[in-house]
Structure 1
Amino acid sequence: MNASRIKKKLQKQWRWWKRRSLTLGLSSLVIAMVWISMYLPDRVQSLLSTKPPVAIETLQYYQQAEAMDDTPEDVNFWKALNKSKEMNEVTVRHSYVCGEEERTLGKLNTDEIYNLLNEHPSWKGQFAGQGKVILNETILDLSPTCKERAYMSLDRDGNLSLFDGPPVQDKVIKTFFQLDINSMESSLPDDALRHLYDGIRIQDIDEYNSVLSTFSDYAREG
């Protein structure tokens, strides 16, 4: 075993022990809080039970993080959120295969953001500065707007492209690859080519994938 492999192995063990120590520490904190609450007067205990403490949410996250193997960016976001004492303006951003949509949730405190992310494990958080938090969700589908307006056709350079509206409006959303026009003209029926030139209406992810698959056979190499 060379020095580089030994170093990587030690770093991996150190990260494992670091996560394990943090999880055990938070677990001890939660157990201590539960034990103390059993001996508090009913009035005080009722006050504590009105809102789950951030420590419990943090423990839940780190337990999930071990299972999901989150990226360093995800872990850094959670650490920064755990330290945040301010209200943050929260926006949920839905990123589709075609299109993007946003909705603002208003100002939320740390516990409320924790609760949202626990309810939606696929969301990824990021701080956008000036007290703003963006929760990103990636959706393998077309946005509602794309479903209403998207076409696939050729752009001016002969590339298969996705358009916002009919191709004559020349509003290209995304370019995929250049097509071998001569090969298509010798292989495909005239109706299929005319349909492509006029614009193929795309209304769902299946049609999107089907058109890409069909014309990828005629993509120019290089």
Structure 2
Amino acid sequence: MIIFNLWRKVKQKLRRSRRPMWQLASGLLVPAAILSVAFVGDGVVSAAGRTNLEALPQSQAPAQDDGSRSVIATLSDMRGKVTVKIRRVYICGSESETIGLLSSVDTLRMMKLHPEWTAMLDEQGAVVMEQRIDDLSESCKRSAYFGMDKLGRLSLFDGEPKKEKVMRTFFQLDVNYMESSLPKERIDELVKGIRVTDKDAFNSVLSSFGDYAVERTEKVMKRTF
């Protein structure tokens, strides 16, 4: 009905106008362009079947950062649906969730709503959006310990360090400098494992033992000469 009314207005304009035909032809370019676009759901798809990113409202067009450009290019050529997953990466731990099948337009809209996320395609062709969260995951809050591994590195363990389930390694510790500077009780605490249940405790332990990182202690020694 919209297309029929539009074409009727164009014919009325042709009958009333006395301008040369070349001017009338140029005036018909816009209506012709409108007729060549099909609207699908909330998104816009061209006659060739490609998602028209320029036609998307600003609130729906995704931000084209370096990590997402290839995904955007792939989605712009799609007509069907794609599996979308979200990977939440915490300062300790990670979680994955499958959102389900979404259209290319809905996937692009999600990327626009979260420009701080990065996106990639996995081996199965699913779109994986990665969200960085400045906190500990729930599993880490239940079982994370700071400790020292067998090579003398400050590490984060799943459970007590004696179980040797290293989740993340931070830096090499200057053990000699640490033993000469810290009370024995503090070193024993690190060997047994320092329990962390939130971000503040995590940052506190990391900061306090950061003073004994090999790189940092070497720089301090160089400044004393």
What is the CA-CA distance between 1:99 and the residue it aligns to? 1.0
Q: Which moved more, 1:102-111 or 1:55-64?
A: 55-64
TM-score by length of 1: 0.69
Identity of aligned residues (%): 38
Alignment of 1:90-129 (within 5 A): 90-129=84-123
Which structure is higher in helix share? 1
* CA apart distance, 1:60: 5.0
The 1:63–1:167 alpha-carbon spacing in structure 2 relative to 1, beyond 3 Å, is closer
In 2, Cα distance between equivalents of 1:58 and 1:49:
14
Q: Specify whether residues 79 and 49 from structure 1 end up closer, same or farther in structure 2 by C-alpha distance, changes over 3 A only.
A: closer
Alignment gaps of 5+ in structure 2: 1-29, 45-50, 219-225
Structure with larger Rg: 2
Find the partner of 1:143 among 114, 137, 145.
137
Other-structure match for 2:205: 211
Q: Which of 146, 149, 162 pairs up with 1:155? A: 149
Query: Structure 2 matches for 1:26-175, cutoff 5 A?
Result: 51-53=42-44, 54-55=51-52, 56-57=55-56, 60=59, 64-65=63-64, 70-71=65-66, 73-175=67-169
Aligned 8 A contact 2:71 2:127 in 1 = no
- Residue 52 to residue 109, structure 1, CA distance change in 2 (3 Å): closer
How far apart, CA to CA, are the structure 2 residues paired with 1:58 and 1:99? 36
Unaligned runs of 5+ in 1: 1-31, 38-46
User: Which amino acid is the alignment partner of residue 174 of structure 1?
Assistant: R
2:172 to 154, 173, 178: 178
Selected match of 2:183 from 175, 189, 194: 189
Q: 1:81 to 1:52 in 2, by over 3 A?
A: closer
Q: Is the 8 A contact 1:58 1:82 kept in 2?
A: no
Q: 1:92 to 1:183 in 2, by over 3 A?
A: same
- 1:139 and 1:148 map into 2 onto residues whose CA distance is 17
**Distance of 1:167 and 1:129 partners within structure 2:** 34
The C-alpha deviation readout for 1:145-168, integer Å capped at 9, x for no partner, is 111111001111111111011111
Aligned-partner Cα distance in 2 for 1:126–1:198: 40
Q: Secondary structure at the match of 1:102?
A: strand
Q: 1:7 maps to what in 2? A: none
- Residues 136 and 79 of structure 1, relative CA distance in 2, 3 Å threshold: same
Question: Does the 8 A contact of 2:88 with 2:133 survive in 1?
Answer: yes
User: In the superposition, relative to structure 1, how do residues 125 and 98 fare at CA in structure 2: closer, same or farther (>3 Å)?
Assistant: same
